[in-house]
């Protein structure tokens, strides 16, 4: 398998592999490698509504190369879609990369994504290259360097975290703990709230209560971890989702807010990014899910999560677990 085929089948490339690929292409560094990967990255997109494939390839501060693609979900409103740039940032967060240094994209970032980039530290200096395929081929043939431009050129009058938060508040990609623990939810509560249990009628543990309890424990723990990693400094309503496929693999996603409030990024979409990035195929293979959020929060995810999961995997079981800040427990 050659370098280009290998790059087209993965969503994260380790720093050593990126450096090796850059050397094999006689590039001076990893940075000009990014546009070389964009066109193959587009093939990984899943846009069944628009059929418009978008790919984004980013360089992390640790030297790793990350991929993002757009995802669309038939039967759902378009605002449920995942933009390639959102996928990219979520991919960095999942892999605990502390900063995005540069990104090459196959189409100019929309206003939605330019705003979303504001949620990372030092965003104004983020280097962005929009690939014009015809002109890029000419640049390659002439051995010209890619013309990256800072986000400030794409968003000259930004409104972002600096307008609403203090300097000590962690931003997107910065490690933090929201200090959440689960509330006790007993059997009486579950009987009183039957909609809290399932989207469908399936029992994916085949009647094996021990297996079901094990799955529930894994999902509950992963969803709580995701909620504690959520970026929700504007509403103060963190949440997280964990998904399990039919092979028992778990994928988690954290809610991410924007200073503009809309756009923000739901925890189910974030978990689906993790699912796709780790090689997940059809969404119908997702069979169990857990959502952790605060009961009665001003920003709630439960109804939206059920809508999205029902559309993409009707037999997926969803359980909701409520949490509370440790300082109030």
Is 211-325 assigned to CATH 3.40.50.970?
no
Task: Quote the pLDDT of residue 138.
Answer: 60
Task: Quote the pLDDT of residue 214.
Answer: 83
Task: Quote the pLDDT of residue 132.
Answer: 77
User: Which residue positions in the chain have pLDDT lower than 50?
Assistant: 1-9, 186-192, 194-195, 197-207
Is 12-163 assigned to CATH 2.30.40.10?
no
Which residues make up each annotated binding site? 70-72, 83, 110, 113
Task: Quote the pLDDT of residue 184.
Answer: 83
SS3 of the chain: the string is: CCHHHHHCCCCEECHHHHHHHHHHCCCCCCCCHHHHHHHHHHCCCECCCCCCCCEEEEEECCCCEEEEECECCCCCCHHHCECHHHHHHHHHHHCCCCCEEEEEECCCCCHHHHHHHCCECCHHHCEEEECCHHHHHHHHHCCCCCCCEEHHHHCCCCCCHHHHCCCCCCCECCCCCCCEEECCCCHHHHHHCHHHCCCCCCCCCCCCHHHHHHHHHHHHHHHHHHHHCCECCCCCCCEEEEEEECCCCEEEEECECCCCCCCCECHHHHHHHHHHHCCCCCHHHEEEEEEEEECCCCCCCHHHHHHHHHHHCCCCEEEEEEEEEHHHC
Task: Quote the pLDDT of residue 206.
Answer: 43
Task: Quote the pLDDT of residue 186.
Answer: 44
Its pTM stands at 0.89
CATH 3.40.140.10 in the chain is located at 12-163, 211-325
Which residues make up each annotated binding site for substrate? 70-72
Which residues make up each annotated binding site for Zn(2+)? 83, 110, 113
Task: Quote the pLDDT of residue 202.
Answer: 43
Catalytic positions: 85
């Amino acid at each position: 398998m050659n370098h280009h085929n290998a790059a087209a089948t993965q969503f994260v490339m380790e720093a050593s592999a990126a450096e090796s690929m850059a050397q094999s292409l006689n590039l001076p560094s990893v940075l000009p490698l990014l546009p070389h990967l964009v066109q193959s990255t587009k093939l990984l997109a899943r846009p069944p509504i628009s059929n418009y494939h978008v790919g984004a390839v980013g360089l992390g501060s640790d030297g790793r190369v990350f991929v993002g693609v757009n995802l669309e979900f038939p039967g759902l409103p378009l605002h449920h879609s995942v933009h390639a740039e959102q996928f990219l940032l979520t991919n960095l967060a999942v892999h605990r990369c502390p900063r995005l240094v540069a990104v090459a994209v196959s189409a100019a970032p929309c206003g939605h994504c330019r705003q979303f980039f504001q949620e990372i530290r030092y965003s104004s200096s983020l280097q962005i290259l929009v690939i014009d395929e015809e002109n890029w081929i000419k640049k390659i043939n002439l051995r010209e360097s890619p013309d990256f431009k800072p986000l400030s050129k794409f968003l000259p009058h930004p409104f972002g975290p600096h307008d609403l938060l203090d300097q000590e508040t962690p931003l997107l990609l910065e490690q933090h703990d929201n200090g959440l623990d689960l509330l006790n939810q007993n059997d009486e509560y579950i009987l009183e709230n039957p909609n809290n249990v399932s989207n469908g009628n399936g029992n994916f543990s085949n009647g094996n209560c021990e297996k079901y309890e094990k799955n529930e424990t894994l999902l509950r723990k992963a969803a709580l971890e995701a909620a504690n990693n959520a970026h929700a400094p504007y509403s103060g309503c963190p949440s997280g989702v964990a998904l399990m496929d039919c092979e028992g693999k778990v994928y988690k996603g954290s809610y991410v807010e924007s200073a503009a409030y809309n756009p923000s990024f739901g925890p189910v979409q974030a978990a689906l990014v993790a699912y796709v990035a780790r090689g997940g195929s059809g969404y119908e293979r997702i069979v169990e899910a857990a959502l952790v959020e605060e009961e009665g929060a001003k920003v709630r995810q439960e109804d939206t999560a059920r809508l999205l999961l029902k559309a993409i995997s009707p037999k997926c079981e969803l359980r909701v677990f409520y949490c509370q800040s440790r300082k109030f427990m």
